[in-house]
C-alpha cells in the first residue's frame, strides 16, 4: 500500500512538473511544452533552439526542478530537526541558519560584493558562509557550555538568531538604499535561477538524503528522547551532532540560493506523519515528495497569480500559516 | 560467572555524593531487588549500569568488560531497561516501539532483518498484548504501556534486564501480572535487577535484595536476612512491624504510626 502510494506520488510529481512548466506569462501550450522537452531528451546536445524552447529549457524547467528539490531538501531538514528536538514543531531555521544566511546576503548587498563560484553569485556565497558560520558558532558555544543539552543548543540558536536579526536591522538602518533588496532577498524567490543553481542544490540534497536514509533508525530512536535512545544503544551526543550538522548545512545550501522560505520544513513532515506515522524509513521519502510538490506549487502560484511575481516565501506563508493553525487545532482533538 | 560487577563505584554531582563506594557482584541468572527510600540513589545506580552516566570513581564491568570501553550498542545488547514510565509526543505504534529494541543489533543496517520483525512479534505475543500491536502507544493505559516496555525488553534479547519501579503506576492486577512475567523471565535464565518501591510486592517474587540508603548499600542478603523489623525500620526511619502469612508463607511489612 505504502509502495503504491509512493509510486503514485512520484508520478504526480512528474505530471505536476510538466504542467507547471507549461504555466507562465509566455503563452506556450502544454503540447508545445511536451514537444520541447521531448526534443531536448532525444536530440543532440548541439541542437538549435528557438525562443519558446529557451524559455522552457533554460528558464522554467531549471526553476521548477530547483523549487522541487529545495522543497524536498527543506522537508528532509524538518524531519531531522523534529526528530533531534523530539518536537513535531521544530523548524530547520531554529539554529540560526536563516538569520546567518540573511546576514551574509545583507553584507553582500550593502557592499555590492562581486564574484562567483560554481555559477553562484556573491550574495549566495556570502549567505552560505553566513549560515554555516552561524551554525558552527551555535554548536561551538553549546558544546562548551557547562551543560550541553538539546535545550542548551536550542536556546543558544534562538539567542544568536535574535542577535543577528538585530545586527541586520542596524545595517538596514545605516544603509537605507539597500533595504528593498535585502527585504526581497529574505522573502525568498526562484526568479532568475538556472541550471548551475540546480546542480549545486542537487549535490547538497543527494548527500543529505543518503545520509538521512542511512540514519533512519537513529532518527527513530531520537524520537524517544536521549535517555531511552541511549538505553537502545545510541551514542546520542555524536548522532545528534552529526544529524544537526548535515541538516543545517543542507538548509544553509538551500537558503543561500533561494532566500528564506518558511513553513515547508516545518509543515511537510507534520502532514506526512499523519499518513505514514513517525517511523523515518517511510517518513523521509514521503516528506521529500510532498515537500517538493508543495514548493513547486507555491512557486507556480507565486509567478502566475498576479502580473508581478510574488516572493515564494509569501505564498508558502499565506498557504502554510492557516494550514498550520488548522493542524494545531486538530492536534487538540488528537489527530496530529 | 559475574554478569555485573560494580567495583567500588562512587557518583557525585558537583561534590554532592549520590552514591558512595558501591561494591556489588551479580551472577548470571540472579534476580535481585533494589530497595530504598526516595533519594537513596537507586535510579542513579541503574543509569550507571546502563552507561547513561559514568562513575566519578570506580569501575563497572558487564560480562567482565569495563563499561567505559564498551560502545553504547554493545551495552544495549547486554542490558535492557524497563523504565517506570515513558511518554512520547509522537504517534508511535506498539509494534514500532518494540521493534526499536532490535536496533542495537542492527542500527547500522539500512534493512531491518526478518528475524527482527519475528522477535518483536514474539515479544508482543509473550506479554499478551497482540491485540494492541497496531495501537498508538500514547493512547494506552499505564498498565498496557508497562507491558509494551516489558515486551521491548524481551525483544532486546539481552542477558540482563534492569527495571526501574516497573509496578509503580499500576493497579493490583497489573502489578501481579508484571511481576509474574518477571519471574518467568528469571526462570528462563535472565538476570534481573528490579528497583522496587512496593516492598511487600517485591518479597513475594524476589529472594535476594540490596537495601540502599543515602547512596550506600546498607544491607544485602536474602529475604530472611534483610526482611526484619530492625533492618526495615532502620532503612525507612520509621517504626515497622513484619508479619508472616502463616498459610502461604508470605512476609509483609506494615509501617507503624510514630508515637
Q: B76 to chain A: which residues are within 8 Å by CB?
A: 231-233
- The model's pLDDT over A309-327, given as tens digits with 9 standing for 90+, comes to 888 888 888 888 887 778 7
R_g of chain B computed on alpha carbons: 19
Strand spans (E) along chain B: 2-13, 16-27, 31-35, 57-62, 65-66, 79-82, 160-164, 191-196, 208-213, 216-222, 240-245, 250-255
pLDDT at position A336 is 45
Angstrom CA distances, B173 to B45, B212, B250, stand at 29, 28, 18
Element of type H or E holding A121: strand A120-121
- The model's pLDDT over B53-62, given as tens digits with 9 standing for 90+, comes to 999 999 999 9
Distance from CA of B104 to the nearest CA of A (A): 5
Residues 6+ apart with CB under 8 A from B101: A232, B80, B120, B123, B152, B153, B154, B155, B156, B157
Question: Any idea what the Cα angle at residue A127 is, between residues A126 and A131, rounded to 5°?
Answer: 115
Distance from CA of B258 to the nearest CA of A (A): 39
Cell numbers linked to A174:
545605516
**Count of CB atoms within 10 A of residue A220's CB?**
26
| Helix, strand, coil shares, percent, chain A, to 5 | 75, 0, 25
Q: Check residues B239 and A287 and name the one with the higher pLDDT.
A: A287
Is residue A1 pLDDT above 60, yes or no? no
Contact A66, A217 (CB under 8 A): no
Return the residue matching grid coordinates 570506580. Answer: B58
Distance from CA of A137 to the nearest CA of B (A): 27
pLDDT at position A333 is 45
Is residue A281 pLDDT above 90, yes or no? yes
Is residue A170 pLDDT above 80, yes or no? yes
Contact A93, A101 (CB under 8 A): no
DSSP assignment of B144-177, as one string? HHHHHHHHHHHHHT-SEEEEESTTTT--HHHHHH
Contact A234, A109 (CB under 8 A): no
Backbone angles phi, psi at A106, to 5 degrees: -60, -45
Nearest to B151 by CA among B77, B82, B93: B82
pLDDT at position A45 is 63
Bridge partners (DSSP) of residue B17 are: B12
For chain A, domains (ranges, CATH) are 2-332 (1.10.3470.10)
ipTM score of complex? 0.89
Share of chain A above pLDDT 90, in %: 33
Backbone angles phi, psi at B22, to 5 degrees: -80, 130
Is residue A219 pLDDT above 90, yes or no? yes
Q: Does B86 touch chain A (CB under 8 A)?
A: yes
Q: A279 to chain B: which residues are within 8 Å by CB?
A: 92, 96
* Dist. CA B259–CA B177, nearest whole Å: 37
Q: Cβ A88–B51 below 8 Å, yes or no? A: no
B2-84+158-255 is classed in which CATH architecture?
3-Layer(aba) Sandwich (3.40)
Query: Chain A interface residues facing chain B, Cβ-Cβ under 8 Å?
Result: 86-88, 213-214, 216-218, 220-221, 223-225, 227-228, 230-235, 273, 277-279, 281, 334, 336
- The model's pLDDT over B24-74, given as tens digits with 9 standing for 90+, comes to 999 999 999 999 988 899 999 999 998 889 999 999 999 999 999 999 999
Q: Does B96 touch chain A (CB under 8 A)?
A: yes
Angstrom CA distances, B236 to A289, B40, B239, B254, B255, stand at 60, 10, 8, 12, 9
pLDDT at position A335 is 43
Q: Which of B52, B96, B112 is closest, CB to CB, to A227?
A: B52
Lowest mean per-residue pLDDT among A156-160, A212-216, A282-286: A156-160
- The model's pLDDT over A48-79, given as tens digits with 9 standing for 90+, comes to 667 777 888 888 899 999 999 999 999 999 99
pLDDT at position B3 is 87
Lowest mean per-residue pLDDT among A17-31, A189-203, B213-227: A17-31
Q: Cβ A273–B77 below 8 Å, yes or no? A: no
What pTM does this model have? 0.87
Give pLDDT < 50 ranges for chain B: none
Mean pLDDT (chain A) is 85
Q: B163 to chain A: which residues are within 8 Å by CB?
A: none
Q: Cβ A231–B81 below 8 Å, yes or no? A: yes
* Dist. CA B73–CA B137, nearest whole Å: 24
For an interface test with A, the pick among B54, B71, B91 (most A C-beta atoms closer than 10 Å) comes out as: B91
SS3 label, residue B17: strand
Q: A278 to chain B: which residues are within 8 Å by CB?
A: 90-92, 96
Q: A218 to chain B: which residues are within 8 Å by CB?
A: 107
Q: Cβ A233–B76 below 8 Å, yes or no? A: yes
Amino acid at each position: 500500500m505504502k509502495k503504491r502510494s509512493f509510486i503514485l506520488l512520484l508520478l504526480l510529481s512528474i505530471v505536476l512538473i510538466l504542467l507547471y512548466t507549461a504555466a507562465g506569462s509566455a503563452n506556450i501550450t502544454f503540447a508545445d511544452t511536451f514537444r520541447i522537452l521531448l526534443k531536448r531528451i532525444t536530440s543532440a546536445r548541439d541542437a538549435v533552439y528557438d525562443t519558446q524552447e529557451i524559455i522552457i529549457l533554460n528558464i522554467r524547467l531549471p526553476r521548477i526542478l530547483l523549487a522541487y528539490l529545495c522543497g524536498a531538501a527543506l522537508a528532509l531538514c524538518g524531519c531531522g530537526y523534529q526528530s533531534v528536538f523530539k518536537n513535531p514543531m521544530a523548524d530547520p531555521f531554529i539554529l540560526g541558519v536563516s538569520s546567518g544566511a540573511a546576514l551574509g546576503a545583507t553584507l553582500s548587498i550593502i557592499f555590492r560584493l562581486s564574484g562567483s563560484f560554481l555559477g553562484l553569485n556573491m550574495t549566495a556565497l556570502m549567505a552560505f558562509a553566513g549560515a554555516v558560520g552561524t551554525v558552527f558558532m551555535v554548536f561551538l558555544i553549546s558544546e562548551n557550555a557547562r551543560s550541553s543539552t538539546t535545550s542548551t543548543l536550542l536556546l543558544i540558536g534562538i539567542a544568536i538568531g535574535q542577535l543577528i536579526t538585530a545586527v541586520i536591522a542596524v545595517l538596514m538602518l545605516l544603509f537605507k538604499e539597500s533595504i528593498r533588496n535585502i527585504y526581497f532577498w529574505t522573502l525568498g524567490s526562484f526568479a532568475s535561477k538556472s541550471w548551475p543553481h540546480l546542480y549545486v542544490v542537487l549535490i547538497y540534497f543527494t548527500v543529505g538524503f543518503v545520509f538521512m536514509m542511512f540514519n533512519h533508525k537513529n532518527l527513530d530512536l531520537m524520537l524517544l528522547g536521549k535517555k531511552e535512545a541511549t538505553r537502545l544503544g545510541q551514542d546520542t551526543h555524536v548522532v545528534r551532532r552529526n544529524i544537526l550538522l548535515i541538516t543545517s548545512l543542507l538548509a544553509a545550501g538551500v537558503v543561500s540560493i533561494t532566500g528564506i522560505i518558511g513553513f515547508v520544513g516545518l509543515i511537510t513532515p507534520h502532514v506526512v506523519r499523519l499518513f505514514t506515522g513517525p517511523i523515518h524509513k517511510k517518513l523521509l521519502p514521503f516528506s521529500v515528495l510532498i515537500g517538493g510538490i508543495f514548493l513547486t506549487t507555491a512557486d507556480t502560484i507565486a509567478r502566475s497569480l498576479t502580473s508581478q511575481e510574488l516572493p515564494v516565501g509569501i505564498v508558502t506563508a499565506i498557504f502554510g500559516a492557516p494550514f498550520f493553525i488548522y493542524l494545531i487545532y486538530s492536534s487538540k482533538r488528537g489527530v496530529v | 560467572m559475574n554478569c555485573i560487577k560494580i567495583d567500588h563505584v562512587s557518583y557525585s554531582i558537583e561534590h554532592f555524593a549520590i552514591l558512595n563506594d558501591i561494591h556489588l557482584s551479580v551472577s548470571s541468572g540472579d534476580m535481585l531487588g533494589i530497595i530504598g527510600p526516595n533519594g537513596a540513589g537507586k535510579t542513579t545506580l541503574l543509569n550507571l549500569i546502563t552507561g547513561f552516566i559514568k562513575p566519578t570513581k570506580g569501575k563497572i564491568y558487564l560480562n567482565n568488560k569495563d563499561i567505559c570501553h564498551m560502545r553504547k550498542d554493545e551495552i544495549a545488547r547486554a542490558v535492557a531497561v524497563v523504565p517506570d514510565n515513558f511518554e512520547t509526543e509522537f504517534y508511535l505504534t506498539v509494534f514500532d516501539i518494540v521493534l526499536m529494541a532490535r536496533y542495537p543489533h542492527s542500527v547500522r543496517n539500512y534493512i531491518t532483518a526478518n528475524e527482527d520483525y519475528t522477535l518483536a512479534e514474539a515479544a508482543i505475543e509473550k506479554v499478551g498484548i497482540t491485540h494492541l500491536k497496531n495501537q498508538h502507544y500514547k493512547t494506552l493505559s499505564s498498565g498496557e504501556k508497562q507491558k509494551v516496555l516489558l515486551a521491548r525488553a524481551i525483544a532486546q534479547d539481552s542477558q540482563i534486564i534492569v527495571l526501574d519501579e516497573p509496578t509503580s503506576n499500576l493497579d493490583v492486577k497489573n502489578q501481579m501480572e508484571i511481576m509474574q512475567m518477571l519471574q518467568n523471565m528469571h526462570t528462563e535464565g535472565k538476570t534481573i535487577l528490579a528497583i522496587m518501591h512496593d516492598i511487600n510486592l517485591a518479597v513475594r517474587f524476589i529472594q535476594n535484595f540490596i537495601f540502599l540508603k543515602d547512596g550506600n548499600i546498607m544491607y544485602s542478603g536474602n529475604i530472611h536476612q534483610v526482611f526484619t523489623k530492625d533492618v526495615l525500620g532502620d532503612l525507612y526511619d520509621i517504626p515497622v512491624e513484619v508479619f508472616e502469612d502463616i498459610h502461604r508463607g508470605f512476609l509483609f511489612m506494615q509501617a507503624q504510626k510514630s508515637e
